[in-house]
Structure 1
Amino acid sequence: MIYCYVVMMIGYARREVLALLFSAAVINYLDRQALSVAAPILRQQYAISPTDYAQILFAFMLAYALMHPIAGRIIDRMGTPKGFSLAVTWWSLACAAHAFATTVFSFSLFRFLLGVGEAGLLPASVKAISEWFPKQERAFAVGIVNVGIGVGAIIAPPVIAALILTFTWQAAFLIPGALGFLWLGAWILFHRRHHPQHRLPPAEISAHVPWRELLTYREVWGLMAARLISDSAWYFYLFWLPEYLSQERRFSIRQIGASAWIPYLTACLGSLAGGFFSDRLIRSGWSVNGARKIVMAASALLMPTAILAVSVREPLQAIALISLATFLIQVWATNLFTLPADLFPPQLVASVYGFSGFAGSLSAMIFMLAVGAVVETFSYVPIFTAVGLMHLVATGIVFALIPEIKLVLQEEEHSS
């Protein structure tokens, strides 16, 4: 059904764009998750404590946070084709470099470099979507990118575990790192065959504003504040789930490979559901404002149920509740990630997304350190509680700071 929807709603060139964005997201998150799956073995082999591991994650999040606005600016300046190519090349080399790490410092260094490159994925993807897709198709397109993120997270546990068990832990970084260069060849070929005139007509991409003025818009601050509150929830499940299953549920590396993919599968379904339903509401006559917000509010209201995951006795019950959480997170995030394209013209989308990504990654960076300290000193209970409430608060912020989702610059130009 989903394939039929894509074929019906999107032209051939757009399907190619969507396939490339999807596969880039898969590779990005496969590279990102390699360390998380290999962590139990690396921690034992190199005597890495929970606090050390949190510091390694912190290095990634520091670079990822700092580079988001810079990556957005670079991509807006260079254009999507060149900017995306630079990001993929950088993160692929950084991923492969992990194979040569032997200390907490070297893992942290390569993790930092990985964060520098991977910060370009979503600003470039959302910018490409704003250039190629009209508003009634954008949330679904963003949802497909988020599905790629979920697929990368799904296949990471079994694929990385298989690479480690078949070869060595170094292969878990070298082989995923090589995939980025295969994608790069396909990306270059696509842009040789499809020229800028195949994108949306100029009427939809006419507005412009200097980058430094973006922070004068309340909508930018609304996006930044929402992600400041909410992003840590996804990163907790992304980076700490294998460790939680290993330490608290006593899963072996084989058991992690066999079960840790399930919450990421439900995240994929949430990405599709979030984009499908809000776009469907728009085509049914709902305003963009109403469609995006009703889907976000409904998912946020259900998220506190995931708090129970830490207290249930059976591991399968915990995985089921965590899977519900990741489903709802991606329903919510798909719509939030679409808002920069709903609010601003394509020339500014990567920069706007970069600012919001900076805020979200900054809070997640701090939260990753807090997780390590809290887990080592207390337990996972405070963490699961905080994670379950984040999106309720973030939704309130969106409603307060972005009272109406519309093209801000276009409205101001018409009224001046």
Structure 2
Amino acid sequence: MSTLNDLNQKMTKYRWVICSLLFFSTTINYMDRNVISFLKEYFCSPAGFGWTNSQFSYVTAFFTAAYAGVTVFSGMIIDKIGSKLGLALSLILWSISGIGNAFVGTSVSVHVIIRSIFGVGEAGNFPASIKTVTEWFPKKERALATGIFNSGSNIGAMISALFVPWCLIHFGDASGWKMAYILTGAIGLVWLIFWFLLYDSPKKLKEKGKVNAEEFAYIHSDDVELTPEQRKAEAEGKKEKVAWSKLLRYPQTWSFFFGKFMTDGIWWFLLFWLPDYLKKQFGMTTQEVMWPTFIVFGIAIIGSVFGGSVPMFFMSKGWNVYKARMTAMLLIAFFPILLLLTQFFGDKAVFGSYSMYLATSVICIAGAAHQAWSANIFTTVSDMFPKKAIASVTGIGGLAGGIGGVLVQLLAGFITDLYASKPETAYMIMFTVCAFAYIIAWAIMKLLVPKYKLITDL
């Protein structure tokens, strides 16, 4: 124990600087992404664009499809060119296209095009971030680091929940939606300055004196599980490309694929449709939905960080990394089932003025559970794949999650139009779909990969 304490006292902590950079990029990513959810009422009103719910769902679905389709390619590209350049190019594209969204008028088709380009840019954030965590953290810290940077998705959504309605109120609807896109898009370009100043590989920053020998050794402490060739390649920071045909042969890849396919769409649903639910279920105004949505995404931060620490508890008991991870994910998967109670608690005839608070509390639990799940499912990739394949496998999972997200967006648009006169029924159907997604996903993942097996033949 004293040796470990001595090591902790001696080594630098620069890996947490890197984690903070990823946290801010993810915050910007989700802030920009979530702007549109607070513009739905204006876009779908006769005084605004006059869109239907289905037309709004086309815009979000095409964004999701572009995001998903490009995530696979972005993962491969980032594995080839590295995280530093890959994440920077990604952010530049999504920031510029986000700003451009303010100048496209009212046409659904044009919004679909610009939002799709925006999705192409945003697709690089998570493959680059997961790859960076893998390069900078040992396995036992990766879920925590992922949970911390992934909590930026909640912070970004919280900022949108307050900032976008403020823009609509302060500038007026006709100008406010444009200002929301312009101002949120511009922030990402500021982040680039810090990224280029502070980020590099562990090896290069060790040479510059930012990382000492103790921290460098700690970062690479899992390399004992690798072959000599893999250890040499990863210590030197070599950028290699792994063919999809190889990755798709492994059940570990398909486990991640189906885990993301089943659950990513649930978060997309909360991001894009929660304000609409609050307005239709409880008759709230744009200004009134600010704080409930802010609280939902704020509570989700707890899930993101706490979820990453749960497997560390089991690992401290001597469990192998996969058993600890999957046990934590099983426990987490039960919490979204509470969504079945959302409309029960949301019944104003039964609970009166408390109904909104009770229904929102249930959604808070589900949102926190999703983020806890997300912190762990991302880390299953780095638990089993070598670093050179991380971004590619993460990209494949992103494709799967995006496909699931598209289906959920289109289903939400179809159901809310079908039950336009009974929105409480429409959202009961959607919450039921969301409730069982995680436990089904866990079962599929466990079936595909029943036991831990590190991939060493790539």
TM-score normalised by the chain length of structure 1: 0.93
Matches within 5 A, 1:43-122: 43-44=44-45, 45-102=48-105, 103-122=107-126
State the distance in 2 between where 1:134 and 1:293 align: 18
Task: Name the residue aligned to 1:35.
Answer: 36
Per the alignment, do residues 8 and 289 of structure 1 end up closer, same or farther by CA in structure 2, a change over 3 Å counting?
farther
Equivalent of residue 450 in structure 2, options 394, 403, 409: 403
Question: Is contact 1:342-1:406 (8 Å) kept?
Answer: no
Q: Which residue of 1 aligns with 2:436?
A: 389
Distance in 2 of aligned mates of 1:201 and 1:9 = 16
Deviations 1:391-416 (A, max 9, x none): 0100101111122234222xx58xxx
Shift of 1:10: 8.5
Question: Is the counterpart of residue 353 in structure 1 residue 394 in structure 2?
Answer: yes
Q: Which residue of 2 aligns with 1:162?
A: 166
* Cα pair 1:157 1:258 within 8 Å, conserved: yes
Q: 1:304 to 1:155 in 2, by over 3 A?
A: same
Distance 1:193 1:43, change over 3 A: same
Residue 247 of structure 1: how far off its partner (Å): 2.2
Q: Is the 8 A contact 1:295 1:331 kept in 2?
A: no
Cα distance in structure 1, aligned partners of 2:455 and 2:81 = 24
CA distance in 2, matches of 1:188, 1:29: 21
1:3 paired residue number: none
Is 1:376 aligned to 2:384, yes or no?
no
Separation in 2 of the partners of 1:383 and 1:8? Answer: 50
Shift of 1:240: 0.6
- 2:147 matched to 1:143? yes
8 A Cα contact 1:278 1:291, kept in partner: yes
In structure 2, what residue type is equivalent to 1:70? F
**Following TM superposition, by how much is the alpha carbon of 1:219 offset from its aligned partner in structure 2, in angstroms?**
0.5
Residue 260 of structure 2 aligns with an amino acid whose one-letter code is R
* Structure 1 residue matching 2:404: 3-state secondary structure: helix
Q: Which residue of 287, 296, 304 corresponds with 1:254? A: 287
Work out the CA distance in 1 between the residues paired with 2:362 and 2:156. 21
| Separation in 2, partners of 1:243, 1:18 | 33
Q: Report matched runs for 1:305-320 at 5 Å.
A: 305-312=338-345, 313=347, 314-320=355-361
1-side partners of 2:279 and 2:328: how far apart? Answer: 34
Where structure 1 has 5 or more consecutive residues not aligned to the other structure, the ranges are 1-6
- Residue 9 of structure 1: CA displacement? 12
1:189 aligns with 2:236: no
Q: Please tell me the residue identity of whatever aligns with 1:79.
A: G
Q: Report deviation, 1:43.
A: 2.1
Q: Is the 8 A contact 1:164 1:170 kept in 2?
A: no
Range moving further from structure 2, 211-220 or 10-19 = 10-19
> Which has the larger Rg?
2
| Runs of at least 5 residues in structure 2 that lack an aligned partner in the other structure | 1-7, 234-239, 348-354, 420-425
TM-fit CA distance, 1:258? 2.0
Listed one character per residue, the Cα deviations across residues 127-162 of structure 1 (whole Å, up to 9, x for unaligned) are: 000000000100000101221111111221111111
Offset at 1:192?
6.5
Q: Distance in 2 between matches of 1:142 and 1:302?
A: 21
Please show how residues 173-252 of structure 1 align to structure 2 within 5 Å: 173-191=181-199, 195=204, 197=206, 198=211, 200-201=219-220, 203=223, 206=231, 210-212=242-244, 213-252=246-285
- Describe the shift of the 1:340–1:11 C-alpha distance in structure 2 as closer, same or farther (beyond 3 A): farther
Any idea what SS the aligned residue of 1:403 has? coil
Q: Which stretch of the first structure deviates more once superposed, 188-197 or 222-231?
A: 188-197
SS of the residue corresponding to residue 389 of structure 2 reads: helix
Separation in structure 1 between the aligned mates of residue 383 and residue 407 of structure 2, nearest angstrom: 29
Q: Matches of 1:117 and 1:40 in 2, distance apart? A: 26
Aligned with 1:326 (options 367, 374, 378): 367
Normalising by the residue count of structure 2, what TM-score does the alignment of the two structures yield? 0.84
How far apart in 1 are the matches of 2:13 and 2:98? 32
Distance 1:387 1:48 in 2: 26
Q: In the aligned structure 1, how far is the partner of 2:199 from the partner of 2:57?
A: 40
Partners of 1:331 and 1:8 in 2: CA distance: 30
Aligned-pair CA distance for 1:94: 1.1
Q: Give the whole-Å Cα distance in 1 for the aligned partners of 2:144 and 2:257.
A: 22
The superposition leaves residues 340-397 of structure 1 with CA deviations (integer Å, 9 ceiling, x where unpaired) of: 1111111110000000110111121122111110111132221110110100100101
Q: Name the amino acid aligned to 2:321.
A: V
**2:317 pairs with 1:289:** no
Q: Which amino acid aligns with 2:139?
A: K
Name which of structure 1's ranges 91-100 and 306-315 shifts more when overlaid on structure 2. Answer: 306-315
3-state SS of 1:252 partner: coil
Change in CA separation of 1:8 and 1:125 when aligned onto 2, cut-off 3 Å: farther
Distance, in Å, in 2 between the alignment partners of 1:281 and 1:317 is 33
CA distance in 2, matches of 1:304, 1:191: 41
Deviation at 1:37, TM superposition (A): 1.1
Task: Provide the rounded CA distance (Å) in 1 between the counterparts of 2:153 and 2:275.
Answer: 17
State the 1:310 CA deviation: 2.4
Partners of 1:289 and 1:8 in 2: CA distance: 29
Change (3 A) 1:11 1:107: farther
> What do you get for the CA RMSD once the two structures are aligned?
2.0
Which amino acid in structure 2 is aligned with residue 258 of structure 1? W
Distance 1:171 1:76, change over 3 A: same
